[in-house]
């Protein structure tokens, strides 16, 4: 099986290769792992700087329409040039990007899925290129507000207590985006069943969702599982934080759920 591998923000392909090294070593059979580097340089992820050399990369350093569209194009062009791939494995931002590309493609029923299987590790929710963005309103005192960009809403403020505003605020500040925001900047919304009621989101393929209950993105990882495929969704909580588990028991469990999914996909092909 050929895996397309997408790294997290502030890392790079060599770091992801090390992060999933124990999983790769435990998986039986012959598999090929192909890594796609992000094109945007950024600060190193937490805990990376003193262990791994740079450059430190991401697929987008702000979730704007232009940057996320460029990231989609990067993935699709790579698949066209280097594919096909049987599965995708993504960590953190890499998982969000993979699922964003897959969900957007799934909106067109005439198109076949890009992959037969998706493995998401400590994922945040993906951004939706087709949903109306929100507009940043940065007050002189530094207070951050978001305005609905849709003309029908007249640019009214999104309540700070709303699910949509809170998820944006969490994302922008936890990733260090807050200081980079400019007044009037358009920020994409996430795919989310609660913030987009009635939305029929489905990747159409089995997904393995590896989450950690101590991860700040734990709930988003669970929500991503709700957007998984109609052919089966698996959730594994490794119990730790925003990381690929490396302890013996967690690696054994992770290997088992991934291998089970690989075998099921192979049986159905």
Which amino acids are annotated catalytic? 92, 215, 242
Question: How do strand 57-58 and strand 207-211 relate by DSSP bridges?
Answer: unpaired
* Beta-bridge partner residues of 187: 64, 134
How far, rounded to the nearest angstrom, does the alpha carbon of residue 187 sit from its chain's CA centroid?
16
For strand 2-6 and strand 57-58, is the pairing parallel, antiparallel, or unpaired?
Answer: unpaired
Beta partners for residue 34, in sequence order: 4
DSSP 102: H
> In the chain, what is the straight-line distance between the N-terminal and C-terminal CA atoms, in Å?
12
Retrieve residue 72's tokens: 């989609």
**Could you tell me the two tokens for 109?**
């029923």
């Amino acid at each position: 099986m050929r895996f397309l591998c997408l790294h997290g923000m502030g890392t790079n392909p060599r770091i992801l290769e090390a992060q999933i090294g124990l999983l790769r070593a435990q998986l039986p059979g012959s598999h090929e792992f192909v890594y796609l580097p992000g094109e945007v340089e950024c600060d190193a992820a937490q805990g990376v700087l003193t262990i791994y050399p740079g450059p430190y990369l991401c697929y987008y350093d702000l979730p704007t329409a232009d940057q996320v569209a460029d990231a989609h194009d990067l993935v699709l062009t790579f698949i066209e040039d280097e594919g096909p791939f049987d599965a995708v494995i993504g960590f953190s931002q890499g998982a969000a990007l993979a699922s964003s590309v897959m969900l957007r493609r799934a909106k067109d029923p005439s198109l076949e899925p890009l992959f037969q299987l998706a493995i998401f590790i400590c994922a945040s929710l993906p951004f939706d290129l087709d949903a109306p963005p929100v507009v940043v309103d940065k007050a002189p005192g530094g207070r951050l507000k978001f305005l609905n960009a849709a003309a029908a809403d007249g640019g009214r403020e999104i309540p700070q207590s709303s699910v949509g505003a809170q998820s944006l605020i969490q994302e922008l500040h936890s990733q260090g985006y807050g200081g980079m925001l400019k007044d009037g900047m358009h920020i994409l919304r996430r795919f989310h069943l609660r913030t987009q009621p009635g939305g029929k989101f489905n990747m159409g393929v089995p997904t393995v969702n590896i989450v950690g209950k101590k991860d700040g993105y734990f709930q988003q990882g669970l929500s991503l599982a709700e957007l998984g495929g109609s052919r089966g969704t698996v959730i594994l909580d490794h119990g730790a934080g925003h990381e690929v588990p490396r302890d013996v028991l967690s690696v054994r469990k992770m290997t088992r759920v991934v291998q089970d999914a690989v075998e099921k996909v192979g049986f159905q092909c």
